[in-house]
Amino acid sequence: MDFSKSLQMSERFHSIIPGGSHTYAKGDDQYPEFILPYIVKGKGCHIWDVDGNEFVAYGMGLRSITLGHAYDSVVDAAHKQMLDGSNFLRPSRIELECAEELSNMVTSAEMVKFGKNGSDVTSAAIRLSRAYTGREIVAICEDHPFFSVDDWFIGTTPMSAGIPESTKRLTVKFKYNDIESVNALFKQYPNKIACVILEPEKDKGPTDKFLHKLQQSCKENGTVFILDEMITGFRWHNGGAQELYNIVPDLSTFGKGMGNGFSVAALVGKRDLMRLGGIDHDKERVFLLSLTQGAEAHNLAAALETMRIYKNEPVVEFLHKQGERLANGINKSIEENRLSPYVQILGRPCNLVYTTKDMDEKPSQPFRTLLLQETIKRGVIAPSLVVSYSHTDADIDKAIEVFHEGLCVYRKALDEGVEKYLIGRPVKPVWRKFN
């Protein structure tokens, strides 16, 4: 493949956009040095770059595209609404319709408040929890990579420059599937933890009723229990992972797949908490969410159509089926190339990721870069293996074939040295203190 136009465009990106990207996970440092495609269009699970190269994509839109790029009925719904206006000086009818539809899908959604992205609604959940409990400390799961762009979370990462130390001290961490690590925090900070927030599941599911035990500990300690369903929502189950695991959180957050890539997110939860953000009580007012574009009508139209498709078509079942097909095919290649200790497929079939390790079986950025290098130049972009409703059997089989060829190179690199096969510098972790 030819990437000459993309490489020429890179300098222009970096000259006007800090880091060359508006999202760190999409940056140049996350991809091989000389294979940096800039995208011009997408349809289904296929995307095209400025050089005319076509790719089958996985992990589309950072997992926000669950149905497919430019999905016809979703685009049509948004377009139709745009012709009638997108933002008004009073609430529009579609705000009520979309909130009611989401409430019908998610058992815990007694009330709904819309935002534009995940950070809007997770931070609103934190603020609401602090107001409800009168406490300041937030407990987050250290095994989950991202919760918000706001200070309460970013202060816990290596990229914490500019965040006051006093803010950093207000967020503490526990480990997933380790209820003792949670209870230790409750003992260390008695009557001080406002809320606990975590994803229901990442690459490993809850064991020994962890989520239910965590919820019980929160209840006993007067702490708000929050589930972040940005990723698990609209992938694990129509009602979210909370429905799959039969647990009702106090608050939960949804986004990403809810609008098939359109900018919409939601904080949902129990009425006694959520109503504090309203005007029908005599308690101190809580600034929950108030965004000029917080409920743009065309984005809500996209969300409504996405939810309609989920209710009427077997989207979640399809994601699991295609994910299983993909994992089975790549795992076969892993075994054939004697790579089982070095490359592993992890997670639920609807949300697969992979590991890359060196000869010492330690996580390796050079080997991750090599696998990206070999697969992208063969027409598959897969920083993860997350599928969509548009991934056909042929698309899955294409990825299996491409990964098999890439894994053959991986095997050679293990035997002969990665530097012999890797072109350019390795990718870097997003969370790092210096460039």
Kindly state whether residues 28 and 123 are assigned to the same domain.
no
Q: Is residue 75 part of a domain?
A: no
| pTM given for the model | 0.96
Say if residue 396 is in the same domain as residue 248.
Answer: no
Q: With residue 48 as reference, give the H or E element that holds it.
A: strand 46-49
Co-location of 343 and 255 in the same domain: no
Note down the domain range covering 145.
87-295
Q: Is 54 in the same domain as 140?
A: no
Same domain, 93 and 198: yes
112 assigned to some structural domain: yes
Q: Which of 237, 263, 295 is the last residue of a domain?
A: 295
Helix (H, G, I), strand (E, B) or coil at 18: helix
343 and 392 inside one domain: yes
Q: Domain for residue 230, yes or no?
A: yes
Whether residue 101 sits in one domain with residue 55: no
Is 308 a domain residue?
no
| Structural domain includes residue 331 | yes
For residue 177, is it within any domain? yes
Query: Which CATH number do you get for residue 8?
Result: 3.90.1150.10
Q: Are residues 230 and 111 in the same domain?
A: yes
Say yes or no: 43 and 125 in one domain. Answer: no
Indicate whether 78 belongs to any domain.
no
Cα–Cα distance, 237 to 249 (Å, whole number): 16
Q: How many domains does the chain have?
A: 2
| Closest by CA position to 405, among listed 385, 386, 384, 377 | 377
Contact 104, 310 (CB under 8 A): no
Dihedral angle computed from the Cα positions of residues 5, 10, 16 and 17, in that order, rounded to the nearest 10 degrees: 120
Tokens of 90: 């009073």
Instruction: Give the span between the Cα atoms of 177 and 400, in whole angstroms.
Output: 32
CATH of the domain at 220: 3.40.640.10
Domain boundary among 247, 268, 295: 295
Last residue of a domain, one of 243, 261, 295: 295
Q: How far apart are CA 261 and CA 257, in angstroms?
A: 6
Question: Do 184 and 121 sit in the same domain of this protein?
Answer: yes
Residues 251, 137 within the same domain: yes
Do 238 and 387 reside in the same domain of the chain? no
The predicted-structure confidence for 374-406, as pLDDT tens digits, reads as follows 999 999 999 999 999 999 999 999 999 999 999
- Residue 301, in any domain of the structure: no
Tell me the pLDDT of the chain (435 aa) as tens digits. Answer: 999 999 999 999 999 999 999 999 999 999 999 999 999 999 999 999 999 999 999 999 999 999 999 999 999 999 999 999 999 999 999 999 999 999 999 999 999 999 999 999 999 999 999 999 999 999 999 999 999 999 999 999 999 999 999 999 999 999 999 999 999 999 999 999 999 999 999 999 999 999 999 999 999 999 999 999 999 999 999 999 999 999 999 999 999 999 999 999 999 999 999 999 999 999 999 999 999 999 999 999 999 999 999 999 999 999 999 999 999 999 999 999 999 999 999 999 999 999 999 999 999 999 999 999 999 999 999 999 999 999 999 999 999 999 999 999 999 999 999 999 999 999 999 999 999
